[in-house]
Amino acid sequence: MKKLETSEIQRLSIEEFQNTRKNNFVIVLDDVRSLHNVGSTFRTADAFAAEKIYLCGITGTPPNREIQKTALGATESVIWEYADHTIDTIKKLKNQGYTIISIEQAHNSTFLQNFNIDIDKKYALVFGNEVFGVNADVVANSDICLEIPQFGTKHSLNVSVSVGIVCWHFINGQLKTTN
């Protein structure tokens, strides 16, 4: 086995990416305070061809040098929108036919591995603040809460790590369904 050189990797241009079919989910960041987590989410959204990112509340927005450090240009390829209040965003998305999914430890949450992706549905994946998680009013207005199983002492993952895990689950579920 030999590692690919950068020139051997089949990368889309920004224009090609913007014109390619996106996957059936958007990412909603609810009061995410770390600009590095925001930048990393942009990179993950690009990697998994998310439809869009919604940056809500205190979540930082591009252009921002700290976001760019981790986004590595993904703020140019991924469509994003800012909203003052996450609750308004999820109500709008619900009216557009999205299933609202908060990634949170909650009563009656579903473990991520037990959630089956319906390729005919559109999903809004909500990720919360690094300390407080997804706001309670957003959780209460969600259709589903998904929980990432954890086995250590912290029972807490970095927001950007959670985004990567959940997006991979959604892509993997779609690949299994279409293959």
Contact 38, 32 (CB under 8 A): yes
Residue 158 amino acid letter = N
Residue 86 to residue 126: CA distance in whole angstroms: 9
39 falls within a domain:
yes
Q: What pLDDT score does 99 carry?
A: 98
Angle (nearest 5°) at CA 160 between 4 and 47 = 40
Model pLDDT for residues 79-116, shown as the tens digit of each residue? 999 999 999 999 999 999 999 999 999 999 999 999 99
Of 170 and 9, more confident: 170
179 pLDDT above the threshold of 80: no
Q: Closest Cα to residue 171, out of 53, 79, 49?
A: 49
The SS3 of residue 102 is strand
Whether 4 is in a domain gets the answer no
The C-alpha angle with vertex 23 and arms to 19 and 28, in degrees rounded to 5, equals 105
- Would you state the pLDDT for residue 175? 57
Domain contains 2:
no
| CATH number where 147 lies | 3.40.1280.10
Lowest-confidence range among 7-16, 45-54, 101-110, 149-158?
7-16
Confidence (pLDDT) at 14: 87
Does the pLDDT at position 174 exceed 70? Answer: no
> So what's the pLDDT on residue 6?
82
Separation CA 106–CA 127 (nearest Å): 13
Which of 79, 121, 127, 122 lies closest to 103 in space, CA to CA? 127
- Quote the number of domains for the chain: 1
On whether residue 171 sits in a domain, the answer given is yes
For residue 176, what pLDDT band results from cuts at 50, 70 and 90?
low
Q: How many residues does the chain have?
A: 179
pLDDT for position 100: 98
pLDDT, position 7: 81
Which pTM does this prediction carry?
A: 0.93
The per-residue pLDDT for range 115-172, each reduced to its tens digit, is 999 989 999 999 999 999 999 999 999 999 999 999 998 888 999 999 999 999 999 8
Q: Which residue has the tokens 């921002």?
A: 64
In-domain check, residue 78: yes
| Token pair 């790590």: residue | 161
| 38: amino acid identity, one letter | V
The boundaries of the domain holding residue 173 are 16-178
Residue 11 lies in a domain: no
Residue 7 covered by a domain:
no
In a domain, 8, yes or no: no
Q: Give residues with Cβ within 8 angstroms of 34, minimum separation 6.
A: 130, 159
Among 104, 93, 91, which residue's Cα sits nearest to residue 136?
104
pLDDT of residue 178 exceeding 60, the answer is no
